[in-house]
Structure 1
């Protein structure tokens, strides 16, 4: 059961929320986002297989601060470009060296007669060259689903948000074009939507749509990617920035310092400036006095904070409250030894949404350069109450049950070894870990595309669900005592690429350093034989959705 909600944030513990969401998404065999129970069904939509409406929400997987960071410690200043030769990413280099014809096709659609709703084709290059271009990925199904999810409460439809930002840019004399990329809309729905759009659109049913979704790595709808007049990517978070800063053309990402503001409060009511954070590892703590898991975690966090302060570590925490009243905030803050963002509803809400926080408690940890170290600070601290692993950089090789969000952020290799004893599992970790660490270094140096490495050593719901997803038989504890099940207990490796809706499983046999390296190398070379996840047939979705509850 989800926990209580206030201010739009769930209070059942971010780990619980995410795992429930991921289990639901696995059952649907489509991508999911951390702390988003709806998931992001973009892969299915990109194939124009409109079997269900894609979900829409701002979440950590849609925000650059969080979505890219666990792979290579990236953050707001992380280079957008992919390394040369790495496929599948819409990079500055690719845009700059291509004409817009190569990216969107030779033609775009524009409304010819608004009253009749007729459209005509115009030259893409003549329309876009020399201008800032905002690629607006959405679907009318997304807008309908947002209204349905609001359950009568006030909600914001994506297209009016983009319209407002577009209007303000035009009024300011900016050279801007918006290109609508319809995701899984029928021709009739697309043409109807275009009537109310003052910009251009991709020619319907063009393979360019699926290609753009894949290359731009769109995981959540709506999304806006802005490129400048030189063809360089300005931001991949254009939509979130348009929501909060519609007049701030070209909607570049705010730095963490800009988000948090110029001053902070201490428990005694005194103020300090942002300079107090300079040169320190910073944890941004989203919490509330009414949230039971928060009350359980805060004392643990206080203990770790006190230890780090005593040890002279450069560490600070900034509390962002989700309390409803200033009285609740002051009472809760009064027992905290760290800093807090002032109680300003708009500022606090903006920080939470820009950083993609939708569950409490959440602890985001940033390094001295304000690059994200981990979005799972709460879980890391609970596992490390003595702060021995400070500042909690993600491990190159993680356990599936502890870090399942990795799978939603990048293609991942899962080593299923639930059937092995402790010695066998230790042997496997010893051969996988060096490869995972080498990969992380190559990614950091721009020499390889990101890939996660996970081990599944426990028989538990997540590993069982992923086994089913990739076609491996379920393992039960009693199998370890049955000779007839010996083959099932041998370790297997699976590649999962949720964005592309693809997976592959290693062949049966002993897992060695050579066999694992060959499996990964074949994926790097584009030679790995992958399959698509099986989406449930219509009518089967109810059971799948129930899995997320």
Structure 2
């Protein structure tokens, strides 16, 4: 299953106010409506459909930033991203409602699937029956995978395709609706802010405040100075007892934590984890933390929300890795742990590159196809380049990246290690 938004979500950052953007001179000029009409309409249709089936003139999109949303109900990652996008869309409509719209282009194969999926979407859509327009848009914007969000700026005239941003999904996951209006100037500003945030980041200013300069421990004095952790590789573990994916991941993380500590106890850049709780009450926090061998921020500490916002935590469990200098190495520690276990340490780009090459070599000896005991269709081995990641394994429900066994019919996807091989004759009885 291709990876979309996490199962448990933290609210997005607030979107930039319309007045602020307009005042900066960043808003684009008025559109060439005839060009937009030629993209989204046909000789028989000059309208789009709203959620209740009302016809909305394409000309009503004049002056707006328009996002073309290529998606399908049959594909789990699309459904995941759809939930994420609904929250972002509703938030942006509250602040910049008159300046933004989404148009759904269905990749479903039957009208019933389209109707069911469409019923969840608060934005506009191209009619399911207009196959030619959907095919034309797919060709024009070279859509190779879904979900895909193509951002069109008003005022791009005849070069509307050339000026389009095709990485809207990535931008939303990275910046949320703070990226609006998705102009070059706005994205450059966000890049600068992200760099400034990274450059000024230290472990001490992340984990301490004017009331506290320590984190909690199960051992000794029960308090560990944050200053004593400087120089170590630190994992910030955003998690909560009420979160089912967290309950599954924590027992996996505990033995890996012990192995890393054991393997690297003589190194200056030793490893430590700090639990950043999203529990709803202190007894739940205490009960959950009792299962963990590492450190923790106190329950309800003011730094918890600050850290979630700082690292743009969109869902839990989330493992953010900080290097010995206190800078962020990766926010995808959970995925790296799932893929490489204790071998992922110290999570640096060079180590991940080495492990990826090692995985590529191992994949050469894997069968090209397999039959899995939990699915009725044959699974095909795919790579990162041919559709292998990132994804959520349909067996262990954990993240994966790179190589996977994938059902080309329905998107079912597994880590290679999670495939339970069955004989050909058994396939008809499973799934």
Q: Shorter-chain TM-score: what band?
A: 0.3 to 0.5
Task: Please give the TM-score of this superposition, normalised by the length of structure 2.
Answer: 0.48
More relative contact order, 1 or 2 (CA 8 Å, 6+ apart) = 1
Task: Please give the TM-score of this superposition, normalised by the length of structure 1.
Answer: 0.40
